[in-house]
Amino acid sequence: MPEFAAVDVIRAKRDGGVLSDAQIDWVVDAYTRGVVADEQMSALAMAILLRGMTGPEIARWTAAMIASGERLDLGSVRRPTVDKHSTGGVGDKITLPLTPLVAACGAAVPQLSGRGLGHTGGTLDKLESVPGWRAALSNREFLDQLADVGAVICAAGDELAPADRKLYALRDVTGTVEAIPLIASSIMSKKIAEGTGALVLDVKVGSGAFMKSVEDARELARTMVELGGAHGVRTIALLTDMSTPLGLTVGNAVEVAESVDVLAGGGPADVVELTLALAREMLAAAGLPDADPAAALADGRAMDSWRAMLRAQGGDPDAKLATAAETELVRADRDGYVERIDAYRIGVAAWRLGAGRARKEDPVSAAAGVVLHRRPGDPVRAGDVLYELRADDAARIPAAAADAAAAVVVAAAPATPAPLILERIG
């Protein structure tokens, strides 16, 4: 591999140039090995944020990140493989019912997930509220479970795209998280490296999402769809609303309980709608367009798949979930209608209650969170419960209550409901 001076690569992008394939291969590899220092990669990341990247540059950057580690081979799995990725939101527990549901319909779902940070929850944190469940699997365990059960939700191994893991941590502390080329290559390098045959993306838009505008979300989605295609992974994306929390629960154990309700044929309408929409996209992408996910929810196959998935990873599907020691009910102070529930503020409230973390090494509470009793458009009378705050420590409640109070607006007239699914790309 040719050698370059890091400062020359930085200057090239700083001045609006297009990085060559050789420059990209070298800088990603050299940074992973520690030859390029953090401060140099920070400068390059900022240059990419400000100057952008061309489609071929992003594709090559993604390929270099994949090449920094191992690539899983799912050839031993006899079912068609398809994965889903969400860009993150508040109350976004969709992976929990979706993964076993799609497996119940005949596909295999190799779902490598992460932990929450700040106001957005993490799938692994939610599932760790199930007694005994473990997130860390060896490659052999991962493949065996995928072949036997068809559904795996676990943490990515250390050898999967290690360049991304190192760069992700750097971006988080250097103000470069918003760079769309780096977001797209971060997500897609891990998903391509896991070896899935098809991928469905849930790109969130709104106050509780990373992307606040439809335009930015559309650009990110198109970039990732193109990256998937360039690497032989059939990829489609849905743009979905994240101005309001998904469902009625925000936290860890409370979201698991709500997911089980969905798998049992109930659950909030918006969670069911998005779960089925993504399931249909995943099954079509996997070559199973005639499978009926709604029927798998109704006849119990999805629940059987969920229970098998939990047991395979040491979890007890019949165990009681954690409950909070402290609960505070918040009531409406007037008659009217719930006009809006701001997802970001509810997410921050759940974080303050202990459901999330400020740093990746912080512990989280399984029982803490917010449970909504009303949704936008619902009528309320003075004294009706709007939501409840749950925590292990009563001292956490006042600050969370201040954030949540500003999130829920009661108005004299009902608002027009916004669509949940905004656009399809791919």
Flag whether 421 is in a domain.
Answer: no
Q: Give 222-253 pLDDT, tens digit per residue.
A: 999 999 998 999 999 999 999 999 999 999 99
Q: How far apart are CA 421 and CA 249, in angstroms?
A: 20
pLDDT confidence of residue 355: 94
97 and 134 assigned to the same domain:
yes
CA nearest 167: which of 184, 154, 142, 153?
Answer: 184
What's residue 314's pLDDT?
A: 98
**Domain holding 386: CATH number?**
3.90.1170.30
**Are 47 and 179 contained in the same domain?**
no
- Same domain for 23 and 137? no
The pLDDT value given to residue 418: 87
Verify that 144 and 261 share a domain, yes or no. Answer: yes
Q: Tell me, yes or no, whether 422 lies in a domain.
A: no
- For residue 236, the model assigns a pLDDT of 98
Classify residue 121: in a domain, yes or no: yes
> pTM here?
0.93
**331 and 282 in one domain?**
no
Mean pLDDT, the chain, whole residue set: 95
Domain assignment of residue 40, yes or no: yes
Query: Domain span at residue 382?
Result: 326-411
Written as six digits, the tokens of 407 are 């999130």
Whether residues 359 and 384 share a domain: the answer is yes
3-class SS letters over the chain = CCCCCHHHHHHHHHCCCCCCHHHHHHHHHHHHHCCCCHHHHHHHHHHHHHHCCCHHHHHHHHHHHHHCCCCCCCCCCCCCEEEEEECCCCCCCCHHHHHHHHHHCCCEEEEEECCCECCECCHHHHHCCCCCCCCCCCHHHHHHHHHHCCEEEEECCCCCCHHHHHHHHHHHCCCCCCCHHHHHHHHHHHHHHCCCCEEEEEEEECCCCCECCHHHHHHHHHHHHHHHHHCCCEEEEEEEECCCCCCCEEECHHHHHHHHHHHCCCCCHHHHHHHHHHHHHHHHHCCCCCCCHHHHHHCCHHHHHHHHHHHHCCCCCCCCCCCCCEEEEEECCCCEEEEEECHHHHHHHHHHHCCCCCCCCCCCCCCCEEEECCCCCCEECCCCEEEEEEECCHHHHHHHHHHHHHHEEEECCCCCCCCCEEEEEC
* Res 417 pLDDT > 90: no
Give the per-residue pLDDT at 220: 96
Radius of gyration of the chain from its Cα atoms, rounded to whole angstroms: 22
Shared domain check, 190 and 229 = yes
Q: Final residue of a domain: which of 286, 312, 338?
A: 312
Q: What is the pLDDT of residue 216?
A: 94
pLDDT at site 245? 97
Whether residue 16 has pLDDT greater than 90: yes
pLDDT reported for residue 169: 82
| pLDDT (0 to 100) of residue 218 | 97
| Number of independent structural domains in the chain | 3
Q: Is residue 71 part of a domain?
A: no
User: Residue 210's pLDDT is what?
Assistant: 86
Residues 260 and 166 in one domain: yes
Over range 147-167, report the average pLDDT: 91
> Across residues 124-144, what is the average pLDDT?
95
Q: Is the pLDDT of residue 212 over 80?
A: yes
On whether both 244 and 97 belong to a single domain, the answer is yes
Please identify, among 290, 312, 334, the residue that sits at the C-terminal boundary of a domain.
Answer: 312
Confidence of residue 1 (pLDDT cuts 50, 70, 90): confident
Q: What percent of the chain has pLDDT over 90?
A: 87
Q: Is the pLDDT of residue 187 over 80?
A: yes
| Whole-number pLDDT of residue 157 | 83
- Confidence label for 307 from pLDDT (cuts 50, 70 and 90): very high
Q: What is the pLDDT of residue 97?
A: 98
> Known catalytic residues?
85, 164, 171, 186, 190
Residue 58 lies in a domain: no
- pLDDT tens-digit series, residues 34-77: 999 999 999 999 999 999 999 999 999 999 999 999 999 998 99
The CATH number of the domain holding residue 46 is: 1.20.970.10
The answer to whether residue 61 is domain-embedded is no
Examine the domain organization and report whether 300 and 403 are in the same domain. Answer: no
| pLDDT tens-digit map of 74-124 | 989 999 999 999 999 999 999 999 999 999 999 999 999 988 767 888 899
pLDDT at 152: 97
- pLDDT level of residue 354 (50, 70, 90 thresholds): very high
| 320 belongs to a structural domain | no
Residue finishing a domain among 312, 339, 372: 312
Domain identity same for 116 and 262: yes
Alpha-carbon distance of 297 to 328, in angstroms, equals: 34
Torsion of CA 220, 225, 230, 234, to 10 degrees: 160
Rounded-to-integer distance, Cα 85 and Cα 203, Å: 8
- CATH code at position 254: 3.40.1030.10
Mark whether 93 and 39 lie in a shared domain: no
The pLDDT-based confidence of 416 (bands split at 50, 70, 90) is: confident
Per-residue pLDDT band for 172 (boundaries 50, 70, 90) equals confident
Q: In what side-by-side order are the strands of the sheet with 249-251?
A: 249-251, 369-372, 385-391, 326-331
